[in-house]
Structure 1
Amino acid sequence: MKIPAIEYSGIVYRAHHPMWSFRPLSGEGAKQHGGRFNRPGISALYTSLDPTTAWMEAQQGFPFKPQPMTLVAYQASCTDVVDLTKVKTLKALNLTKGDLASPWEYMANQGQEPPTWQLAKKLQEIGYAGVIVQSFAPGCKEENRNLVLWDWSDAPPHRIAVIDDLGRLPKSVESWKTDGK
């Protein structure tokens, strides 16, 4: 069975560590550390379909002691996206929701390859730009969803544009430097 692709068009959100909000489209943090849908060395842009999910994703380690974040909105218009919230799509990929929710970080630290890394590699090789998937952050429910991209730019067919009409985001890391601390 062919894996169905969709086009996602709408606003998505990311909650950034304030110091890195001057590079809201980089994907470098995910490239450096890896994530549920990318192994270290592979860039990925993790966004959420609503602001609450973005906040919960960013606070995973501190659900009861929130840390400061900068919430950024993006206008997205991306083709070639696989919707992993659909049972039919999971069946076509021979996956379960449990595979998606697997403890990817623990597995990676144990030298195992998480099933979500295998899936991401397979989908990238076929030419898909990303996935829509349920958030597995603490406190999230089935309706909390993310758009994760491996292929994005400022132009179609995988366009992501920061919404910052008033120029409020910092332009460089220099804005965070203080009296040498």
Structure 2
Amino acid sequence: MSLRELGETYRGMVYRGHNPLWDDDPESGAGAARKGGRWNWVGLPALYTSERFETAWLEAQQGLAMKTQPLTLCTYEVDCGPILDLCDPDIRNRVHPDPEAWRHEAWLSKSRLGMPVIGWEIAQKLMDEGIVGIRTPSQARGATARDVNVVFWRWSRTPPTMVRVIDDEGCLKRRKAKHPP
């Protein structure tokens, strides 16, 4: 069975914490493309989300020296696939022979040194096979087994790759109109 065949459609809600300076386009993935991340290199848009709002908060506060910073928490409706579940040990082992190597990889240090990043290699492999995102354990400080992220490399506002922010009252659009870039 191919990795694509192991992928499933993910349906439900996910969460993401945004710095209020950049919350006017919560579906863009532009911030990840600008800086890169564990699962995307600079230039590749990605949408990093979490299954629990508590995890989204943990993820958004990483790297901040013990001070909680302002945060806009958004909920997304998802009907997107195929998503590969890297929380499943059998799938993790099929994706990479040493899953602990990428789970605890110092990807940021390696990227700054121009070294290969295992997460990026895995992402490229999965995208080449038609996988549009992954479900993966959070690596944020303080994360537990309940803290799971869903990272999307391909998404739109409609199925089969729907990841859509819920903003029924248009709050984010009004904020954008008040504070243009």
Tell me by how many angstroms 1:168 deviates: 1.8
SS of 2:172 mapped into structure 1: coil
Q: Give 1:44's aligned residue.
A: 46
Tell me by how many angstroms 1:172 deviates: 5.7
Letter in 1 for 2:42: P
Q: CA RMSD in A?
A: 1.5
Unaligned 5+ runs, structure 1: none
Q: Give 2:55's aligned residue.
A: 53
| Distance of 1:101 and 1:27 partners within structure 2 | 24
Q: How does 1:98-177 map to 2 (within 5 A)?
A: 98-171=101-174, 173=176, 175-176=178-179
Tell me by how many angstroms 1:174 deviates: 5.0
Tell me by how many angstroms 1:100 deviates: 2.4
Tell me by how many angstroms 1:73 deviates: 0.3
Alignment check: 8 A CA contact 1:2 1:92 kept: no
Runs of 4+ in 1 over 3 A off after TM superposition: 170-174
Q: Give 1:2's aligned residue.
A: 2
More helix per residue: 1 or 2?
2
Tell me by how many angstroms 1:170 deviates: 3.8
Identity of aligned residues (%): 37
Q: Does 1:22 align with 2:24?
A: yes
Alignment size in residue pairs: 177
